[in-house]
Amino acid sequence: MAENATVARPYAEALFRVAQAGKESFNLAAWSELVSELAQIGSHPEVQAFARNPKASESDVASAILALVKSPLNAEANNFLAMLIENGRISLLPEIGAQFHALKNSVEGAADADISSAFELSAAQVAELVATLEKKFSRKLKPAVTVDPTLIGGVRVVVGDEVLDTSVRAKLQQMRVALVA
């Protein structure tokens, strides 16, 4: 069976092209919000189980998913969902969403930044940290901040495949490796 990322890529790219060509009422931002919502719905195990159920018709699956979607849908979005349901690809929604957002970020010259901090950060601290990180990574960052007490102190930042770990835990691990060697 093909890797999910490989199968999801053409769907994400096609959806992104449709979103770029979108009209004023349904622009890239609206598509991005809808794709995020669909990815969240598609990642739910009960939704996936219902979509795989051979007793559930395609119209039943479509009705169930449409009932869960809060964002407005246009004709293209309805066609996209119908195609995924028809091809049994609802489980790909999370990967399609991730690839869609990666495409959107690359066009905008931005990247998602996963910031883990040992302690809660204020809005001012996050803004200052993001400004510093944007200079380091040379692109606009969209931060997602989480608290991870196991870091002991400092922060750990993941931007794409780059990791900047200035946590106390990382420094202790480096010291341990140096002492053992």
Give CA separation, 29 vs 14, 20, 35, 82, 136, in Å: 16, 10, 10, 22, 27
pLDDT above 80: residue 75: yes
Residues 5 and 78: beta-carbon distance below 8 Å: no
How many alpha carbons lie under 13 Å from residue 60 in its C-beta half-sphere?
10
Q: Name beta bridge partners: 116.
A: 146, 156
Question: Which of the four pLDDT bands, split at 50, 70 and 90, describes residue 1?
Answer: very low
pLDDT at position 26, please?
A: 80
Q: For 77-107, how does the pLDDT look when each residue is reduced to its tens digit (9 = 90+)?
A: 999 999 999 999 999 999 999 999 999 999 9
CA-angle at 161, arms to 140 and 98, nearest 5°: 75
Q: 80-116 burial, b for 16+ CB within 10 Å, e for fewer? A: bbeebbeeebbbbbbbbbbbbbebbbeeeeebebebb
- Secondary structure letter of residue 119 according to DSSP: S
pLDDT at residue 64 is higher than 60: yes
What is the mean pLDDT of the segment spanning 119-141? 95
Residue 160 pLDDT grade (very low, low, confident, very high; cuts 50, 70, 90): confident
pLDDT reported for residue 24: 65
Are the C-beta atoms of residues 147 and 118 closer than 8 Å to each other? yes
Task: Compute and round to an integer the Cα radius of gyration of the chain.
Answer: 20
Integer CA distances (angstroms), 19 to 78, 123, 175, in order: 13, 31, 49
What confidence score (pLDDT) does residue 31 get? 92
Q: How far apart are the first and last CA of the chain?
A: 43
pTM: 0.78
Question: Residue 2: pLDDT band by 50, 70, 90 thresholds?
Answer: low
